[in-house]
Structure 1
Amino acid sequence: MTLCSRLLINTILHEYHNSIHSGHLSEDRTLEKVKNCALWPSWRRETIEYCHTCDRCQKANRSTGKKFALMIHIQEPKSPWEFVHMDWVTAHPPSSDKGYNARLVIIGRYIKTPIFLPCHKDDTSMDTALLLWSRVISHTGLFKNIISDRYPKFTYALWTNLHRLFGTKLSFSTAYHPQTDGLAERMIQNLEYMIRRFCAYGLEFKDSYGFTHDWCTLIPALELAYKTLVHSSTVQTPAMLEKGWNPRIPADTLRKDLSDIHPKGSSFKLIFDKVKHCAKQSVNEAFDYAKQKWDKSHKLPDFKVGDLALVSDLSFNNIKGPKKLKDSYVGPFVIVALHGTNEVQVELSGELENKHPTFPVSLIKPYQPDDKEWFPLRNPTPLTVPPVEQNEEKKIKKGGLGVKVKEQIFSDIEIQYMKMNGWQNQKYLTWINS
């Protein structure tokens, strides 16, 4: 056992962990190196603590092992169109004579019934609201809760204020956590699979070149096909849960023993109630099965208000620097609020303060600050944030007119400063929401 001064201990730990010749390796390898150099009382505990509180290691290393966030149950609706999931899908080739290049996907949480609405990528919040009113509300009635991501069209003031007047609650998922809106995400995947099978080269629906991009004409038939398929969680078809009977499809004409498609009035209520009861029981069983599998690889977070935490760099896609060499985590930030068990609100500073401050706990990990009594010579941890990209200029054309656009990015809010050709007076230039 060698008696070492505090200065020598700090020097040893720095040389065997922080220096370029040691490479910020794990605590086990650091322990092995320190053991061959010198020993002192509590050397193992201090070495482990030194590695755990290393600022560079905490920010650069990616998390391994179980992630935070156990699965929680979203409130289940009691009527078909009470709760819905909603999402936008863009980057489609233009279709039909109206040039549709996007889709608005709506799916009822209770009955798993989808609604696919072709639209345009540059539709505004007003266009989306009018589309919803003219094509959906007359069929479903007003929604009680809309679950969606933070797509700009869903967060604009017009959209939020309109639904506030209707008494509809808007539930937004946190950034980079698509599981909240997983029902819509999975529905989008299924629809893309079905469309792709009919839009590939050499199939029946094709143009003179052998391809078809007129995916809009496929939507009604594919929507009917999905409504007549048994859903894995409800063990019923969406049409049966919504209407109490399955609509006929062309394949039904091949059956000779076709019975009446509508149940008799005397037995309709009994059949419908039994179907809904079985569907609810199946949904609960499906959730229990999914929760059991999810919780095996996740753990309950133990964050508290006032703790320091690091946020994954996935939440900050505008941070400068090469992607491969950037830190895996940004921070540390102070936790100011807890929203349930799976969401954390932090206090962002500097150029990141305009970013939405709430993150899923799966993108958060606790930060271990230095112990100044044990390691007084260690450099203090700076509470700084890396620089972010601010401005980007590009040219676009819209409606045949040349438009010069200067984009200024504030977190997930994008504002455009537009100057139309021919307008020289500065008083006509203004900031508008994209």
Structure 2
Amino acid sequence: MHTTATGYFLNKRDTSHIWVPGYDLLRTLLLHESHDNPTSGHFGVDKTMKTLQRNYYWPVMADDVRKYVPSCTACQIMKLSHQQAAGLVQPLDPLERPCQHVTMEYVTGLSAGPSGNDAILVVQFAHTNVNRLHGLPTAIISDRDPKFTSNLWRHLWDQFGTKLQFSSAYHPQTDGQTKRVNQTMEQLIRTTCTDPQTWEKSLPLLEFAYNNAPSATTHQSPFFLNYGQDPVVPSTPNIETPVPRSQRFAEDILAAREKAAEAIRKANLVASQQADRHRRDITYKVEDLVLLDTRNLRLPIPSKLRRDQYGIAPARNTHPDSYIVS
């Protein structure tokens, strides 16, 4: 390592990272800023590690992060436990540009804020997840909430040439993606807002924390994939890079998006292979008799008195693993 005019210790092989000396107080401060700070969002070990690695290096950083994050009191109290979900994975393909497809869903059941709002509309753009408009999408993927199936909503997007795609109930391909984002937003509210009624005021900061966090799949933050650089946060060092960033900006952002798309394809393949080990591929023909699971259907018969399954005939195939029945 060597010292710059500003007094920073830099790695000779990579002058964009500061070498942090072995002072416990200094390293703990950086861990706190990269995890506990409201702009960091109390994310897990992997995202906290990637956030630190943007600007800093020390030999036992990974060990320190693995010790620090599980010791966070707010995370221990507020975070949910996630186990692998059952269901055949039908991943969405990577897209050619940011904001090409949009998924959206509501987070409901929140305490009413000063303006009376008690829900959040979570809009997720493929690649970037940035909740601001960057041009019209070619498709919007959502559940069948009455707000999304209304004639007004359909007519509005029909005028823009945007296709509306509605998820099937309990379908992993379209339902699971936004469900996981919603869980993350709820987790951010729990760990950041000590008063549940202040969530509305904190929402812009929570949005910033989510978009600044590196993705476990692409290894880049939504900010970086959208703008070609990560935003300045309290832990960002004030150092000058030897090569002006403008000279390689276009190459950096295009390379990052290509790597993100390839990472998504690989992750989709691995997830599908893992889930499909416990599934069997079945294709039904029109008029084949099948058993329909009624546990998630609203029927006039009380649930304790009705049969769990009914024999019924598929009418037509709408997707390789979805059918309309009659």
Please confirm whether the aligned pair reaches a TM-score higher than 0.5, indicating the same fold. yes
Q: Distance in 2 between matches of 1:218 and 1:259?
A: 32
Who is 1:314 aligned against? 295
Letter in 2 for 1:291: S
Letter in 1 for 2:146: P
1:229 CA displacement: 1.2
1:91 CA displacement: 1.5
Which protein is bigger by CA-based radius of gyration? 1
RCO comparison, higher one (Cα < 8 Å, 6+): 2
Who is 1:270 aligned against? 251
Deviation track 1:317-361 (CA, whole Å, cap 9, x = no partner) reads 23322x34431113x2221101121111111xxxxxxxxxxxxxx
- Label 1:259 to 1:221 Cα distance change in 2 as closer, same or farther (>3 A): farther
Q: 1:328 aligns with which of 283, 301, 308?
A: 308
Q: 2:119 aligns with which of 102, 112, 127?
A: 102
Counting only pairs closer than 5 Å after superposition, residues 105-184 of structure 1 correspond to structure 2 as 105-111=122-128, 113-115=129-131, 136=132, 139-177=133-171, 179-184=173-178
1:176 CA displacement: 2.7
Deviation track 1:376-430 (CA, whole Å, cap 9, x = no partner) reads xxxxxxxxxxxxxxxxxxxxxxxxxxxxxxxxxxxxxxxxxxxxxxxxxxxxxxx
Letter in 1 for 2:168: T
Q: Distance in 2 between matches of 1:100 and 1:340?
A: 37
Deviation track 1:20-71 (CA, whole Å, cap 9, x = no partner) reads xxxxxxxxxxxxxxxxxxxxxxxxxxxxxxxxxxxxxxxxxxxxxxxx9743
Q: 2:186 aligns with which of 189, 192, 195?
A: 192
8 Å CA contact retained: 2:88, 2:276: yes
1:276 CA displacement: 1.3
Who is 1:87 aligned against? 105
Letter in 1 for 2:101: F
Is 1:238 the counterpart of 2:218? The answer is: no
Give the TM-score normalised by structure 2: 0.69
Who is 1:286 aligned against? 267
Q: Which structure 1 residue ranges, 4+ long, deviate > 4 Å from structure 2?
A: none
1:74 CA displacement: 2.4
8 Å CA contact retained: 2:218, 2:261: yes
Q: 1:249 aligns with which of 209, 229, 233?
A: 233
Of Structure 1 and Structure 2, the greater strand share is in 1
1:302 CA displacement: 2.2
1:114 CA displacement: 4.1
Unaligned runs of 5+ in 2: 1-85
1:212 CA displacement: 4.0
Letter in 2 for 1:302: T
* 1:275 counterpart SS class: helix
Letter in 1 for 2:105: D
- Label 1:107 to 1:259 Cα distance change in 2 as closer, same or farther (>3 A): farther
1:215 CA displacement: 0.5
RMSD: 2.1
Q: Distance in 1 between matches of 2:198 and 2:255?
A: 41
Is 1:343 the counterpart of 2:322? The answer is: yes
* 2:312 counterpart SS class: strand
1:265 CA displacement: 2.1
- Label 1:185 to 1:83 Cα distance change in 2 as closer, same or farther (>3 A): same
Give the TM-score normalised by structure 1: 0.52
Q: Distance in 1 between matches of 2:137 and 2:175?
A: 16
Percent identical residues:
30
- Label 1:110 to 1:162 Cα distance change in 2 as closer, same or farther (>3 A): same
